[in-house]
Amino acid sequence: MELKEGKLILSEAEYAELRKANMMASPNIAGIYLRSALRNKNLIEDLDAQTNNNFYAECIVAYRNNNYEVR
């Protein structure tokens, strides 16, 4: 999962978890859920590099703005 210049780039598996997380009301809560889900399913390759929950909240916002690409 990458966020480049406001555009979210993610895999099919990450996309599935993102769709579930998007059901949460606020981007912050959805971001925490997304981080936890990806972490539990070992979809995050480098946890130390992306420990900031703001990253996941920004991913939710990008998804909600339809600014994403699934690869």
Q: pLDDT tens, 5-54?
A: 989 999 999 999 999 888 887 888 888 888 888 877 766 655 555 556 78
> Residue 46: its pLDDT value, please?
55
Domain that holds residue 25: 2-70
The SS3 of residue 58 is: helix
Amino acid at residue number 65? N
Helices 12-21, 27-40: axis angle to 10 degrees equals 140
Q: Which of 70, 62, 57, 55 lies closest to 25, judged by CA?
A: 57
pTM, two decimals, is 0.76
Q: How many domains does the chain have?
A: 1
Q: How far apart are CA 71 and CA 54, in angstroms?
A: 23
**Other beta carbons less than 10 A from residue 54's beta carbon:** 10
